[in-house]
Each structure stands twice: as C-alpha cells, then as structure tokens.
Amino acid sequence: CHDLKGELHEFDSYWRTDDCYDCSCSRDGINCCSSFATPADYDEEKCASIFNKETCTYKVVEKDDHSKECPVYKWVG
C-alpha cells in the first residue's frame, strides 16, 4: 500500500502518522482512524482545546490561564 506521502507499506502492517492517526494496510487498501479523543462538551467561551502532537492528546485549558485545566463533559473519537 502507498500512503498519502507516497511511502510503501507491507500488507498486514500498522503505523501511526505524524497527525496521530493509526493506519493499517491490507489487500483491500489502507484504513486509518484517529488515535485520540476530541473534547466535545466544555465551556468554549472560557476554555480552549490544545492538541499535543507528541502525545496525541488534547488538553482543555482556560484561555486566560493555560495552567488551569477546564472540565470536559464529553469526548469523541
């Protein structure tokens, strides 16, 4: 299988992309899905979600003070 970057992957192989998607290659083609959960229910006026590509996780923090985390009531992904 060739991925979007043109890299060749063997059948029945698995890898994680730079954008934190877990992919696999089979004779049917490539299948990718997110390896992370996305915050879906939090105070968007007071808080902001920040994605960390190194850990493939979101953190939801206060816009005015990134040292304070905000509660998240629902995650999707």
pLDDT in tens, 16-54: 999 999 999 999 999 999 999 999 999 999 999 999 999
Whether 4 shows a pLDDT value over 90: the answer reads no
| 55-74: average pLDDT | 97
Domains in the chain and their CATH numbers? 1-35 (2.10.70.10), 38-76 (2.20.25.590)
39, 70 contact by CB (below 8 A): no
How many H helices and E strands in the chain?
0, 7
Residue 73 confidence class, pLDDT cut points 50, 70, 90: very high
Whether 77 shows a pLDDT value over 90: the answer reads no
Give the pLDDT confidence score for residue 27 in this predicted structure.
Answer: 94
29, 19 contact by CB (below 8 A): no
Within a 10 A sphere around the Cβ of 41, how many other Cβ atoms?
11
